[in-house]
Amino acid sequence: MIAVTKAVIPVAGLGTRFLPATKATPKEMLPIVDTPVIQYIVEEAVRAGLDDVLMITGRNKRALEDHFDVADQLEAALRAKDDEERLRLVQDATRLADVHYVRQGQPKGLGHAVLCASRHVGREPFAVLLGDDMIDRRDPLLTRMLEVRAQHGGSVVALMPVDAAHISMYGAAATELTGDSDVVRVTALVEKPAARDAPSNLAVIGRYVLDPAIFPVLAATPPGRGGEIQLTDAINTLAGGRIDDGGPVHGVVFTGRRYDTGDRAEYLRTIVRFAADRPDLGPDFLAWLREFVAEQDQPGGRPVSAEVRA
Ligand code: G1P
């Protein structure tokens, strides 16, 4: 069976939830402490053995290309100051992976973005990582998904149980048990169903390992929810076995740490967690945070909202 070596990262989204910050800056460049979200995503792909990375970009995404490119002037300036530590930080992003870019042109949906990868990917299985979902490095979800692909062939999605009230924000899966407690067979997928129509509370999260059979299916998939070509709809076609090849669809049920950095409140929580875990910043930051929370909790203490309004 062909090994998976390629990762596709769709980054053409407008990032409207983070306006005005994302007016001129790609949302994928927003930092978690001092490292842009996109770098964490590429690092995750590389840790899983996928160092051929294709980004599906759009307008206003030049900063992403600059981030993974050599920064001659900056490197020379740091070298002149003997600032080896920062020089290494700047060079790390360049050396991380072999990064390629293709433009989506028109915003026709996630399925269409993945279809734009077909020429680069060819006839190999590949992974898709969505930039809004960060998976904690201590919980190697993608590696587990690659194992499941190696065992069963076909395609593999990542699933996470969510509150029934939240399932309408995700693709939802109908599943059957397998012999492995963290693996299910996916029999159908529905994109963002109303809670009462959802086949389960298992939500598709932003990691996929796809058989190349997805490409002709995507090309034939009509616009679905929101008038967009949905990746979920194409995987549903594979899961229904309505085509001859492509193999089964399995789901890895993930119970580890996921950070939805596409949501502002969750983005803030992610920054706090990552800052607290950092050996260089964590101890001082946590001490300040404890004081800050105690201050907020005091009767007569200044509530956060008043401070924000002030
Ligand atoms: C996309 C997919 C959806 C999936 C979600 C995971 O939706 O279409 O099936 O559950 O990512 O984050 P989006 O969040 O881009 O609207």
Q: How far is the CA of 182 from the centre of ligand 1 (A)?
A: 21
Check residue 242 and give its pLDDT. 63
Check residue 310 and give its pLDDT. 44
Q: Specify the pTM.
A: 0.94
**Locus of tokens 């800050």:** 292
Q: 183 phi and psi, to 5 degrees?
A: -125, 135
Q: 104, 169, 208: which to mutate for ligand 1, most atoms within 8 A of CB?
A: 169
Residues whose CB falls within 8 Å of the CB of residue 160, separated by 6 or more in sequence, listed in order = 202, 203, 205, 253, 254, 255, 258
Q: How far is the CA of 67 from the centre of ligand 1 (A)?
A: 25
What is the token pair recorded at 82? 């003997």
Dihedral sign of CA atoms 137, 138, 141, 146 in order: positive
Is the preceding peptide bond at 20 cis, omega within 30 degrees of 0?
yes
- Domain map (residue ranges) of the chain: 6-279, 280-310
> Which residues make beta-bridge pairs with 252?
158, 183
Q: How far is the CA of 296 from the centre of ligand 1 (A)?
A: 36
| Rounded-to-integer distance, Cα 263 and Cα 122, Å | 34
CB of 10 sitting under 6 A from ligand 1: no
Check residue 301 and give its pLDDT. 65
Check residue 227 and give its pLDDT. 95
Mean per-residue pLDDT of the chain: 93
Under-50 pLDDT residues of the chain:
309-310
CB of 130 sitting under 6 A from ligand 1: yes
Q: Where are the beta strands (DSSP E) in 162-254?
A: 171-177, 183-191, 202-210, 249-253
CATH number assigned to the domain with residue range 6-279, chosen from the 4 options 3.40.1390.10, 3.40.50.700, 3.90.550.10, 3.40.50.10790: 3.90.550.10
Q: Nearest to residue 158, comparing CAs of 204, 107, 220?
A: 204
Check residue 306 and give its pLDDT. 52
User: What letter would DSSP give residue 133?
Assistant: E
